Amino acid sequence: MALNTELLITLQLVKGLGNKTILGIAKNTDATTIEELCNYWPNLKGVKFEKIQTEDLQQANRVAHRIIDTCELQKIGILSYFEEKFPQQLKRCVNAEGKEDPPIVLYYRGNIEALNRPGIAVIGTREPTPNGEKAREPTKNGIKAGLYFSKELAKRNFNIVSGLALGCDTTGHQGALEAGGITTAFLSTGLDWDSIYPKENQELAKNIVENNGLLLSEYYIGQKTGRYSFVARDRLQAGLSYATLVIQTGEKGGTIHAVNATLASKKPLLMVKYKYNEDLANDKVQGNEKFIREGKAIALGNNNLEEVISYINSEVLRKRDIGNNLLFD
d(CA 240, CA 226) in angstroms, rounded, equals 22
CA torsion, ordered 106, 111, 115, 119, to nearest 10 deg: -110
Cβ 232 vs Cβ 186: under 8 Å: no
pLDDT computed for residue 279 by the predictor: 81
For 120-162, the pLDDT digits (tens) are 999 999 999 876 545 445 555 899 999 999 999 999 999 999 9
Q: In DSSP terms, which residues pair with 214 in a beta bridge?
A: 110, 184
Contacts of 88 (CB under 8 A, 6+ apart): 320, 323, 324, 326
- DSSP strands (E only) in the chain: 77-80, 105-110, 119-123, 159-162, 182-187, 214-217, 241-246, 269-272, 298-300
The alpha-helical segments, DSSP class H, found in 107-253 are 142-155, 168-178, 202-210, 227-240
> For residue 154, which amino acid is it?
A
pLDDT computed for residue 131 by the predictor: 63
For 14-32, the pLDDT digits (tens) are 999 999 999 999 989 999 9
For 39-53, the pLDDT digits (tens) are 999 999 999 999 999
- Indicate if the alpha-carbon torsion angle 204, 205, 206, 207 is positive or negative: positive
Q: In DSSP terms, which residues pair with 184 in a beta bridge?
A: 161, 214
pLDDT computed for residue 325 by the predictor: 42
pLDDT computed for residue 47 by the predictor: 93
pLDDT computed for residue 241 by the predictor: 97
d(CA 241, CA 259) in angstroms, rounded, equals 12
The alpha-helical segments, DSSP class H, found in 189-285 are 202-210, 227-240, 255-264, 277-280
Extract the residue ranges of the chain whose pLDDT is less than 50: 133, 135-136, 324-329
pLDDT computed for residue 324 by the predictor: 44
Decide which of 3.90.950.10, 2.60.40.10, 3.40.50.450, 3.30.450.20 is the CATH code for 97-321: 3.40.50.450
Domain locations along the chain: 5-73, 97-321
Among 259, 162, 250, which residue's Cα sits nearest to residue 201?
162
Q: In DSSP terms, which residues pair with 77 in a beta bridge?
A: 108
Query: Biggest alpha carbon distance in the chain?
Result: 70
Q: In DSSP terms, which residues pair with 159 in a beta bridge?
A: 119, 182
